[in-house]
Chain A
């Protein structure tokens, strides 16, 4: 509609590999940093007692995955202009929070409370998705687009 559309159409060959490479580099850098941190952290603490040191029996490895999901979800929300992508990013962030709940319930020794919290969060996320997609359909019907930078008629 505005000057953005033809410009993106002119440079697809350059733009697509560049953006994908950028995304991959960001994600891999975050993942590597967090995993490296997760590797370093517990070795210092349990060097005295020779307990099991598998990567799946550490809280920090789950926190690493959760952190990566959170950052990627946030990046998706910031980067994309399609409202459905924004909702997908929200789902990723909710999943990261849920993973934290379950991991802390497992390693913190608080029984099932964390799992029940995560269960309620899953139900709330499903409810949120239903309502939000109904709103997206409504916006599409009224504006003819779901580009979140163009549905700004209240601003004028």
Chain B
């Protein structure tokens, strides 16, 4: 069952990324990104991270992609198709990168141990995440820092996107 879910969600993630990479229309690309992010959320669930999967759905699938579509609606006019040379560059980069990724991945699997023995069944994580976020020795400082950052982002985004007063007149 878990294998089936992994294949479904992993396939969704990879397929969405492929369509985003290859499809000429940016709106199709944005919805393919939704598919891919949903697949990643499903992979979180297969890993036993229920809270994180829900947060991924809310923040990415709900928030970021709507923001992206909004920007698409407000901006896109005539951006030319990618040239063939860029595909060549991407192909060469990927070809150089993939062997290193494979080697690093197998080294990490060797260090961590991969699948030696049965894993414990996943437990609900929401309560422990909440406790860890509000414990001083754990993640309280990053939690407060990121709330400050979110405030700065709120103000900064409004300031950047707003038209300046002399343009209005």
Give A contacts to B, CB under 8 Å.
Answer: 4-5, 8, 12, 15-16, 18-20, 22-24, 26-28, 30-31, 33-34, 37, 41-42, 45-46, 49, 51-65, 67-76, 78-82, 84-85, 87-89, 91-92, 95, 98-99, 102-108, 112, 115-116, 118-120, 122-127, 129-131, 133-138, 140-141, 144-147
Contacts and interface: CB of A to CB of B under 8 A. Distances in A.
Contact of A140 (B40, B74, B113, B138): B74
A54 B114 CA distance: 12
A46 to B, nearest CB: 6
A153 B64 CA distance: 29
Contact of A19 (B7, B18, B82, B113): B82
Q: Is the interface of A mostly helix, strand, loop or mixed?
A: helix
A77 B128 CA distance: 37
A45 B114 contact: yes
Interface in B104-144: 105-106, 108-109, 112-119, 122, 125, 128-129, 132-133, 138-139, 142
Given A53-B115, A72-B20, A127-B153, A102 B52 contact: yes
Interface of B: 2-3, 5-7, 10, 13-14, 17-18, 20-24, 26, 29-30, 33, 36-37, 40, 43-44, 46-49, 51-52, 55-56, 59-60, 63-64, 67-68, 70-72, 74-84, 86-87, 89-91, 93-94, 97-98, 101-102, 105-106, 108-109, 112-119, 122, 125, 128-129, 132-133, 138-139, 142, 146, 149-150, 153-154, 156-158, 160-161, 163
